[in-house]
Amino acid sequence: MNEFQLTLMNYLARQGMSLSELAKRIGYDPLLFEKIVLGKNRQIPVNFFIRVADVLNLTIREKDALERAWAFGTDRWNWAQSYESLKRTPAKRKAG
């Protein structure tokens, strides 16, 4: 699970709501909503976070945390997370 999924699932658990129920309440097809949550569809409607926050009764800080998790989740980074995880190899040089 990525950071966005964990954050959203925590908010859902607090409300005792399922992912498909949230999708229906905000007016999205459950399959489309699942693709958005899984990160398979990165194109989300402009008011996506506002609708989710309204249905889940999120504070502004919680909504912002959800947005940050979506935009800056570390699961999307394509570089090493720590210096120790880097595998360094000597550079290959041509003779001549």
Rounded CA-CA distance 62/53 in Å is 8
- CATH number of the domain to which 47 belongs: 1.10.260.40
pLDDT in tens, 61-95: 999 999 999 888 645 444 444 545 545 566 666 76
pLDDT in tens, 31-48: 988 888 888 887 888 899
Establish if 24 belongs to a structural domain. Answer: yes
Q: Would you give the distance in Å from CA 61 to the centre of its chain?
A: 16
Establish if 90 belongs to a structural domain. Answer: no
Would the pTM of this model clear 0.75, i.e. be above it?
A: no
Q: Answer whether residue 1 shows pLDDT above 60.
A: yes
Give how many domains the chain has, as a whole number: 1
Its domain, for residue 56, covers: 3-73
Name the maximum alpha-carbon separation found in the chain: 69
Establish if 36 belongs to a structural domain. Answer: yes
Establish if 91 belongs to a structural domain. Answer: no
Establish if 23 belongs to a structural domain. Answer: yes
Establish if 31 belongs to a structural domain. Answer: yes
Contact predicate 19/12, CB 8 Å: yes
